Structure 1
Amino acid sequence: MRPRSTVLAALTTTITIGLAGCGQQAATQSPARDQGLPVTTVVPQADPAARWADGYCGAVGDLVHALASLPAVDPSTPQQASRTTGDLLASVVSGLDRSLAGLNALGAPPVPAADAGRADVIGQFTEIRTQAENARRRIAAVQGDAQASKAALGEARATLDRLDALDYLRGLENVPALEAARQRAPSCGQLDEPPR
């Protein structure tokens, strides 16, 4: 499952347009969606697997919510495309930072030998965060150089493609006890809801 992948698809398309046609008319719609405030619910203490799954989904949800409210990319000029893509990447990095903090604080699941999925997601988030930050810095460094900016925007698109391909819930889905616990975890149910 890849929550909110339509948001990333729209942003990837916008960056592609920016790569192909800098200097064209600015985008008139923002792909950002109003997600509202997260609902806080309590999982019973007697269900440690569901509490852990709820914490996992809450941590992953930080990134999902950040991706759903990314700023729009303005391809009207090369400078605007670079500036707005840099802003977008800064938001991606911030969302990844919050998710990584939550996943690291969560610790291992209460199911023996079931931490490989969380560790894998942490590793992927860390790699993508590094890629996004590098792309953001490169975009800032090459502003004014159209060819270098185009290459840097391509790096930004590659970062979004990697995010879109992630299975955020892999840390739960590959362990039957955690997959069952996911069904009892309110934060996981919120990730399954369609975008508003």
Structure 2
Amino acid sequence: MWRGIGVQAAVAFLLLVAGCGSGEENADRARPEPSQQQETESDGGTHDARTIEWADSYCSATRRLVQAVSTSPQVDPSSPERASETSMDMLATVSQGLRQVERELDGLGPAPIRGADDVLERTKGEFSELRERSEGARNRLAATRQREEPDVAETRSALDVTSNVLDEVGEVNLLGGMEEIPEFVEASRSADSCAELLSAGARPSLNPDGPRE
């Protein structure tokens, strides 16, 4: 899971790659063609292509974080210096993934699902805050590495901050609360990107052990 830095973080990446895939193979997976989405029968009636397409685009955006983390460099805990250096690399990758999520969420049009726009705005804010904290943690690590004389205590403190940030990233709900909207859940059953997220559970996250209580 995403608890702390080092071996445990590396194990989390291995679990993530095994469960979610990595690289362009998943990133470029084709979405359902409109002809396949025209009207999907369900217990609650039919969902038009626009609703399914919007749900798929939303899930595709949040999956960018999964894809970024699955290709992230591992943390080397062999020394505080190596842990600091490799943690900076990881944070850079995470920040890039979060920024990509933000860009794609910003590009979504008005939701054809009642209540989804409010959830979208909250989700965008949450991912933005996570990115800012990730960048802040990386900047703090960078500052410790610029000292002529290494300060072990300061480096360890910066690594603790990084660990906390990565815990937050690992626990973030990748659906952002959309799983509480029945119409979104129904439409997501016909959206490939959502199906891949929901295969990890009703509240998908990067943490293979699930959210902390």
Q: Report TM bin, short chain.
A: 0.7 to 0.9
Which of 182, 186, 202 is 1:176 aligned to?
A: 182
Q: Residue in 1 aligned with 2:32?
A: 42
Over 4 Å off, 4+ runs: 27-30
Distance 1:171 1:108, change over 3 A: farther
Q: Matched residues in 1 for 2:94 and 2:188: separation?
A: 25
Which of 5, 14, 28 is 1:14 aligned to?
A: 5
Distance 1:42 1:29, change over 3 A: closer
Q: Residue in 2 aligned with 1:151?
A: 157
Q: Matched residues in 2 for 1:137 and 1:124: separation?
A: 20
Q: Does 1:190 align with 2:196?
A: yes
Check conservation: 2:115, 2:181, Cα contact below 8 A.
Answer: no
Q: Structure 1-normalised TM-score?
A: 0.81
Distance apart, 1:16 and its partner CA:
8.0
Q: Match of 1:94, SS?
A: helix
Distance apart, 1:108 and its partner CA:
2.7
Q: Percent identity?
A: 33
Q: Structure 2: any 5+ residue segments left out of the alignment?
A: 39-47, 201-205, 207-213
AA at the equivalent of 1:131: R
Q: Structure 2-normalised TM-score?
A: 0.75
Distance apart, 1:29 and its partner CA:
10
Between the two proteins, the alignment pairs up a number of residues equal to 178
Check conservation: 1:50, 1:182, Cα contact below 8 A.
Answer: yes
Q: Residue in 2 aligned with 1:23?
A: none
Q: Match of 2:75, SS?
A: coil
- 1:37-83: CA deviations, max 9, x gaps? 12112242642111001000100010111122221111111111100
Q: Matched residues in 1 for 2:31 and 2:60: separation?
A: 11
Q: RMSD between aligned alpha carbons? A: 2.5
Distance apart, 1:192 and its partner CA:
3.2
The higher-RCO structure (CA 8 Å, 6+ apart) is 1
What aligned pairs does 1:60-139 form with structure 2 within 5 A after superposition? Answer: 60-139=62-141
Distance apart, 1:88 and its partner CA:
0.4
Q: Match of 1:115, SS?
A: helix
Q: Matched residues in 1 for 2:12 and 2:58: separation?
A: 32
